[in-house]
Amino acid sequence: MNENEELSKPPDMLDWRWQLRNRIENISGLEKYIDIDDVEKESLKECLKSFRMAITPYYAALMDKTDRNCPIRLQAVPTFGELVTCSDDMEDPLSEDSQSPVEGIVHRYPDRVLFLTTFRCAMYCRHCTRRRIVGSGDAELDHSQINDCVEYINDNEEIKDVLISGGDPLILSDGKLEYILKSLREIDHVEIIRIGTRVPVVLPMRIDEELVLMLKKYHPLYINTHFNHPKELTPQACTALAKLADAGIPLGNQTVLLKGINNDPALLMKLFGMLLKNRVKPYYLYQCDLAKGISHFRTSVDEGLEIMKNLQGNISGMAIPKYVIDAPGGGGKIPILPNYYRIEDDMVILENYRNEIYSYPNRIRV
């Protein structure tokens, strides 16, 4: 094949490497997918001075061309809201830097660690809690740094569970990812390995047969992904999830509650039901973190509790996630529950999803 024939070939949109090479990172690239007026263009220019944009062509094609409130567009395209800093905003809201004994490791809980293998993602989500480091460059841990992390885990026998995250670890090469998995599997006290990824949402073609065959060698292996809206569960995404599930990999989902995107109980019922149908357990519904530049996405906690109350009884219990706040300052994930009961005179007074009242004895009565 000569050079002219090669250049005339249509792009292989199903090739995940092509998708990464052709991410939309500037305004001119974005204008091929959506209409941008002059006001929005100026806002984008200002945002891009502070925060990076990168959108896979696959995900960009899901955006509504004209609707500025499209839930896909809002998650991918910077807006002026990112330049607003509130008094509650924090540079490192989860205090991960202060809980990092080795570069790449966050050790918050006694029995588990977060292993940050890369600071690169297929797409830079506008609500990212690690925006201080993710997207600032396309860096990933080198061989020596990976070995330092593995050595730390090996030297701390209380660590039973390792969550591989980033950035997005599934955009690492198969070889590098397998080196990490193999190294962890050689540590006797590591019982569970988890991978946190948004690849099935924004780059589902990455879930190819070679990757799946490699992953299934390292059971017990769990994958938690990050669908926020039903529009993201495309046929391609569902195929990617099916490949992982068919390989015996249990799947969970962590949704972030985002104002103007998914803060609606009917929409979340649909999302969680669709996830369960695709063999993905809704795991967490996150209250949006206090990272700088994302306050426009945050709902009140009262609204989150009301949504959770609406889910109860109206959708399968298997489809209801835990509503959690990842406590500012590194306190960890704390469940937030609607008030379904009170205790009166040794009786538990219960209220169900229909607002009907029932009672249950608090202690054994003879």
Task: Note the pLDDT tens digit of each residue in 325-349.
Answer: 998 888 889 999 998 889 998 899 9
Tokens coding 35: 């209409």
Percent of the chain with pLDDT over 70: 96
Q: pLDDT-derived band of residue 6, with 50, 70 and 90 as boundaries?
A: very low
Rounded CA-CA distance 20/300 in Å is 35
- pLDDT one-digit tens code per residue, 203-221: 999 999 999 999 999 999 9
Backbone angles phi, psi at 240, to 5 degrees: -60, -45
Q: Which residues pair with 329 in a beta bridge?
A: none
- The answer to whether 275 and 254 are in contact (CB under 8 A) is no
Q: What is the mean pLDDT of the chain?
A: 92
Question: How many CB atoms neighbour CB 248 within 10 A?
Answer: 11
pTM of the model: 0.92
Tens of pLDDT along 251-303? 999 999 999 999 999 999 999 999 999 999 999 999 999 888 899 999 999 99
Which domains does the chain carry?
3-83 (no CATH), 97-335 (3.20.20.70), 341-366 (no CATH)
Catalytic residues: 108-109, 112, 121, 125, 128, 130, 289, 326, 333
pLDDT over 90 (residue 98): no
Write down the pLDDT at residue 10: 55
What are the tokens at 109? 């809980």
